[in-house]
Amino acid sequence: MLATMAPGMAAGARAEDFRVRLENPEFQIFYHAPALIVISGNTAGSYIVEDCALAAENLMLTAYSMGLGSCWIGFAQSYLSSPAGKKTLGLPASCMPVAPIIVGYPSAPPAVVPRKAPEVRWVG
């Protein structure tokens, strides 16, 4: 099912380089992951994006603690929020997909990312 979403995403891609990549059958936007978890909220609720982002963070931290890799595929959000994307996922129109996250066993440990020192400003 994951591979069948790429053509729909290509149709909605604004940038030509994304469209070309998504139309290439060799390109896998979901990196051949065995699972896609889409955290969604009910559009009638308050703080949907914030609640879903917090749930996504907890999911990704838990996956890491279990030796799994995860990645939030932000480019997929606009397609999954469209009527066609919701139909593909079997979501009702009232749902708002916020966090499409792939989960699987990583082929290699993640590279260490250099971090900047935090800048803390005290107020008061």
What is the spatial distance between Cα 81 and Cα 48, in angstroms, rounded to a whole number?
13
Domain with 62, as residue range(s), is 32-104
User: Which segments of the chain are extended strands (E)?
Assistant: 35-42, 69-72, 95-104
Q: What is the mean pLDDT of the chain?
A: 86
pLDDT at 23: 77
3-class SS at 115? Answer: coil
What tokens does 122 get? 């005290």
Burial class (CB in 10 A: 0-12, 13-18, 19+), 90: exposed
CATH number of the domain within which 49 lies? 3.40.109.10
Average pLDDT for residues 4-11, to the nearest whole number?
59
Examine residue 56 and state whether it is found in any structural domain, yes or no: yes
User: Does residue 36 sit within a domain?
Assistant: yes
The residues with which 101 forms a beta bridge, in sequence order, are 37, 72
Determine, yes or no, domain membership for 3: no
Rounded to an integer, the average pLDDT of 3-19 is 61
